[in-house]
Every structure is written in C-alpha cells, then in structure tokens.
Amino acid sequence: MNKIFEYCAKYMTTYTRLLSLQKLLPNTLMGRSAMIVIIPSILVQIISTTIFYNNHWETLSRRLAQGLAGDITHIRVHMRDFNSAEDFKWIQSVSRLTMLLKIAYEEGATLSPEKAINGSSKFDNVLTRELWREMKRPFTIDFEYSRREIAIDMQLPNGVLHILAPRKRLFSSTTYVFVLWMVGSSMLLFSVAVLFLNIQVRSVRRLARAADSFGKGHDVPDFQPEGALEVRKAAQAFNLMRNRIQKHIDQRTEMLAGVSHDLRTPLTRLKLQVEMLKGVDSNDVRDIKDDIDEMQRMLEGYLNFAKGEGEEALETIKLTTLIAYCERMFLDQGVIIETDQKVANQDITVKPLAFRRCIVNLINNAVRHANRVILRIFADNNNVDFCIEDDGPGLIAEERENVFKAFYRVDSSRNIETGGVGLGLTIARDIARNHGGDITLSNGDLGGLKAILRIPL
C-alpha cells in the first residue's frame, strides 16, 4: 500500500512540474511551431560545441602548446650550445623571424618566488602542463601580460630567459571560423524555418480570424479554404457549420414572422368586430379588448424575436452616441448614467439599432422593477462593459440563467417583462452574443440585480 502511495505522489509531482512547464510555452501556434524547430537545433548545437571543445579543440590546443614548448626547448638547447653574445643575437633574430618569439636573457637572475602562473582557463592549464613536460625547469607564465602576447620566464642555470609569445600561436583561427559558421548556419536555418512556418500558419490564422469574426456576428462571405489538407478540411467544416447556422436562423425567422403576420389579420378583424358590438356589457367588451391587446403585444414580441438583428450592417460609432441615446430615453425616468470622457470617446463596432435595443431591454427591465437604476460604462483595451444596477428585489442565483430562456417568466414580483411574453432578456443576450459578447447577472451594490453587458472591441 505504501508503494502505491509513493507512486501516486511521484506521479502528482511529475504532473505538477509538467503543468508549470506548460505555463512557459508560447500561446500561439507560430510560437510553438518555431519552438519545435529551434529547441532541437539549439540542443544539437550545444552537443556539437561540447564535443568539439572537449575533443577537437582540446587536441588542437595541446598540439599548439606542444609546438610552443618545443620551440622554447629548442632555444634553450641552442643557448646552451652557443653561448657567446654573437650567437645569442643570432638566436634572437631567428626566434623572431621563424618562431615569432621575442627573447631576452637576464644573466645571474633568479625567478621571483612571489611570481606565479596566473592563468586559470582550460587552455592555460594545457599550456602549463606541456611546457613542464618539455622543459623540466622552473618557469612562470603571465597570461595577462598584454592583449596580444603572453610572458614566459624560465629559470636557466646562469640566469632567467624572458620570452614573449604571440597569442595567435596558441589559438587556431579555425576555431572562430567554426563558431561563426555554426552560429551563422543556425541563424540561416531558423530564418528559413520561421519563413516556411509563417506560410503554413497563415492559413490557420485566417481560419481563426474568420471563426472569431463569425462569433462576433460579422459576416465572412469571402472566406476560402487554403493551406495544408487538414486546415482546408477544418475551413470547409467551418463553412458548412456557418451555412447551417445561417439557414437555421433564416428558417426560424421566416417561420415566426409568417405565423405572427398571419395572426395579426384575424386579430385586427376581431378588434373591429368588438368595436361594432352593441347590446353587450361594457365590462365584457373591455375584457375582450384587453385580451386582444395582450395577444397583439405577444405577436409584437414574437416578431421582434424573429427579426433579430436582420440585415443591419456593422458600423463603428463612438460611445458618446449610445450615451446620448440612453440619456434621451431614460433620464426622465431617473436613470443615472456614469462614465468618463476617455471612455465616452472610445470607438465600438456594433449594429447600432440592434445594440440600442439590447441596452434598452436591459434598462427597461431594471426600471420596471426598481426605484433607482444606475448605468455605468467602463472600457479597457479589449472590452467595453455596460453595467446596469438597481435597488429592486433581485433574483435568486437559480433563476439568473432561466430568465434568458425564451418565453420564460418569473412568477414573482420580478417579472422580466411585466405584461410581455418573456423575450426581453432573451433578445438582449442574443444580440450581445451575436456581437461576440455576453450578459451576466449577479447581486448589485444597490441591493438589487446587476446586469453586465460585455462587448469586445
């Protein structure tokens, strides 16, 4: 049993780590595709560089160090065999011309015990080891003597030999060529890969934009499938879905509009006949008229629901236009409108008539059931929020989604359309969602209901 618990604990730990890694992944398909290409390439370059430096470069450095150590040993042997002043000048000349070494001899000197080898890199250690192996004599190396040279001091029997060796003798230029080639080829590979990835991802982006536009109620009639086979199939499925949805909407609209229109004629005829009735109790006539008026209001609700947003085109307008419209409609009813100038100057792309209808339905619903109503408008870089709060009786949590159902009415003091058929909030949410937004209900600060209409910019 303990083993099972240990296994579960290890599994949860691994799963948690994977979740933490997922947060580091790019959000876009382009970013993730590029990462699939770039990360393996970087790993290959790291492995190649490690192998190069641990094998080829170290071997090359050792041979260069052996060459320098051999030249110094050669100079020491010549100085031992030819120890006159003229011979030393000849050795200096030959060393400078053929070995690129500058030498000087300090007779009678000894190495300072405080002076030590100050190199710490891997190559410094290789050179120090090879010099000791070749010369078998005390020496010091100053790897920081200058930018172009290093200084080597060697203890000889009768003095100290000072040697200045150029750094280019210790480093192969092919090393830098290899590094530059590796970096350059990698950058070229990344550029070509990103270019081709961008071409492949472009069709996915078009499909995503088309789906997003359609979700916001925008028409995309010219969308054509393109790209890889899988993307074309997804685009074709999107077109089929869009056509089916549009066909369903058209059928619903035509059916409800036809039924409502057909019923209006007999209702009008009934109303005329009631007006012509004689010898009937006036109270009965009034009741019949009220019933007919109620049926006409129901038919108007059906027609409005069926009509939806119609063929209205999208327009970019300023929020000041909507604010002014709401002020004309509701200021005399005591509705308070709160916003700031920055938000008021914000542009928003909507179907103006349908969107006004959405806001009017929400405010009417609040005004009908409350004494105090406040409309607050907020905006950020992504959305505009219309917040309608009231001090009415509110709604219990279980009823907040039900009120958006078509023809649903709450059997309490908070009817959403008193005297109506329960389509006000249904129409409002349909319009909001056709604009890519939504409406949510919650408890407000005034003690009643708070409705938030959120529309993306």
The domain that holds 359 is classified in CATH as 3.30.565.10
Average pLDDT over residues 151-161: 86
- Judged by DSSP in three states, 423 sits in coil
pLDDT at 417: 45
pLDDT interval class at 235 (50, 70, 90): confident
Average pLDDT over residues 354-380: 88
Q: Is the pLDDT of residue 32 over 50?
A: yes
Average pLDDT over residues 56-83: 81
Q: Is the pLDDT of residue 435 over 80?
A: yes
- Tell whether 303 is covered by a domain: no
Task: Please list, in sequence order, all residues whose beta carbon lies within 8 angstroms of the beta carbon of residue 143, skipping any fewer than 6 positions away.
Answer: 117, 118, 119, 121, 124, 150
- Tell whether 221 is covered by a domain: no
pLDDT at 264: 74
- Tell whether 433 is covered by a domain: yes
Average pLDDT over residues 179-183: 79
- Tell whether 419 is covered by a domain: yes
Domain endpoint, select from 143, 158, 173: 173
Task: Please list, in sequence order, all residues whose beta carbon lies within 8 angstroms of the beta carbon of residue 67, skipping any fewer than 6 positions away.
Answer: 169
Query: Of 56-60, 134-138, 165-169, 310-314, where does the model show the most confidence?
Result: 165-169
pLDDT at 388: 92
Higher pLDDT, residue 349 or 286: 349
Q: Is the pLDDT of residue 119 over 60?
A: no
Q: What is the pTM of this model?
A: 0.52
Q: Is the pLDDT of residue 369 over 50?
A: yes
How far apart (Å, rounded) are the C-alpha atoms in residues 95 and 185? 40
pLDDT at 411: 56
Q: How far is CA 227 from its chain centroid?
A: 23
Q: Is the pLDDT of residue 433 over 50?
A: yes
- Tell whether 275 is covered by a domain: no
Average pLDDT over residues 94-103: 88
How far apart (Å, rounded) are the C-alpha atoms in residues 120 and 124? 6
Number of Cβ within a 10 Å radius of residue 198: 13
In percent, the amount of the chain with pLDDT more than 90 equals 4
Higher pLDDT, residue 322 or 13: 322
- Tell whether 382 is covered by a domain: yes
* CATH for 63: 3.30.450.300
Domain endpoint, select from 154, 173, 192: 173
- Tell whether 410 is covered by a domain: yes
- Count of domains observed in the chain: 2
| Tokens matching residue 254 | 């035509």
- Using alpha carbons, select from 323, 358, 359 the residue that is nearest to residue 344: 323
Query: Average pLDDT over the chain, rounded to whole?
Result: 79
Average pLDDT over residues 446-450: 88
Q: Is the pLDDT of residue 403 over 90?
A: no
Average pLDDT over residues 80-99: 85
Q: Which residues constitute the domain of residue 327? A: 315-456
pLDDT tens by residue, 247-299 = 887 777 777 777 777 777 777 777 777 777 666 666 777 777 777 777 777 77
- Tell whether 112 is covered by a domain: yes
pLDDT tens by residue, 41-58 = 888 878 877 777 667 777
